[in-house]
């Protein structure tokens, strides 16, 4: 079977078109791939920048919370100790040697307690150092100040924390912990708080529960006043985690944050 010259010309023409179109498609594919790659790189840079901005904001909030704690303690604790010291000194009667000796002993005790409190505040001011020692250590240190109020029965359990560490995630989680505790203090009317921090394989799980008055989660999330809950969910997502908030009126609240760690 012979192929006619017309068919040969058609075949050559078709082959030529294919060879012309193929490089064009290849060029278009490469251009499209480069655009997608560039866009992905730009999105990655934006996400990284947003994370760094959020981390800086979180660090500032941790410092702000620390300064508030310092201010409260200066006023409520050290201020009272120094006031008592002043009152005791002003009440000393030098003509009564026995009374003077007792009051000087009391002044000495008050002074030593004041020095101890100032040293504790000095440690508290190094908030970043506290977080750098690990999340469990930071939480434990924060709870020391809460226990001073004697308003709450506090339980803190943690395990396997030596294998888990990430300063950036620890800082954001610590701030979330502070925010949740502040909400409990201000709104929950609770008498008991249970904190559990555990490492399960490559995931860190932080659970905070209280026995307070509780609330309707969906209703609060719909309000503008629910920004605190939205913030907990948003910041958890920023470190690739999830936040579960379960609460019923008169039955307290359970907030669970799960975050993957390498």
pTM: 0.68
10 versus 199: the higher-pLDDT residue is 199
In tens, the pLDDT along 208-261 reads 999 999 999 988 888 766 678 888 999 999 899 999 999 988 889 999 999 998
What are the Cα distances from residue 169, in Å, to 69, 208, 246? Answer: 23, 18, 23
Express each pLDDT in 156-171 by its tens digit: 999 866 556 788 888 8
- Assigned architecture for domain 137-262: 2-Layer Sandwich (3.30)
Instruction: Report domain extents, the chain.
Output: 137-262
Question: If you ran DSSP here, which 8-state letter would residue 74 be given?
Answer: I
Residue 85: CB partners within 8 Å, gap ≥ 6? 107, 110, 111, 114
Q: Give the integer Cα–Cα distance in Å for 60 and 98.
A: 52
What's the Rg (C-alpha) of the chain? Answer: 32
């Amino acid at each position: 079977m012979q192929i006619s010259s017309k068919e040969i010309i058609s075949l050559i023409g078709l082959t030529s078109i294919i060879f012309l179109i193929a490089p064009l498609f290849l060029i278009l594919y490469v251009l499209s791939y480069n655009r997608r790659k560039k866009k992905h790189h730009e999105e990655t840079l934006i996400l990284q920048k947003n994370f760094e901005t959020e981390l800086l904001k979180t660090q500032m909030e941790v410092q702000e919370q620390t300064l508030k704690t310092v201010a409260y303690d200066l006023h409520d604790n050290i201020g009272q100790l120094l006031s008592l010291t002043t009152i005791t000194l002003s009440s000393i009667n030098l003509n009564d040697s026995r009374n003077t000796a007792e009051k000087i002993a009391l002044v000495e005790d008050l002074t030593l307690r004041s020095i101890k409190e100032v040293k504790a505040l000095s440690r508290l001011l190094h908030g970043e150092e506290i977080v750098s020692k690990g999340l469990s250590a930071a939480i434990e240190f924060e709870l020391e100040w809460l226990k001073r109020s004697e308003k709450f029965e506090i339980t803190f359990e943690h395990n396997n924390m030596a294998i888990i560490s990430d300063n950036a995630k620890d800082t954001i989680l610590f701030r979330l912990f502070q925010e949740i505790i502040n909400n409990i203090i201000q709104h929950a009317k609770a008498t008991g708080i249970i904190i559990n921090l555990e490492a399960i394989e490559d995931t860190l799980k932080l659970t905070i529960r209280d026995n307070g008055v509780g609330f309707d989660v969906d209703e609060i999330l719909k309000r503008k006043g629910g920004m605190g809950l939205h913030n907990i969910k948003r910041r958890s997502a920023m470190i690739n985690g999830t936040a579960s908030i379960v609460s019923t009126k008169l039955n307290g609240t359970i907030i669970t944050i799960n975050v993957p760690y390498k």
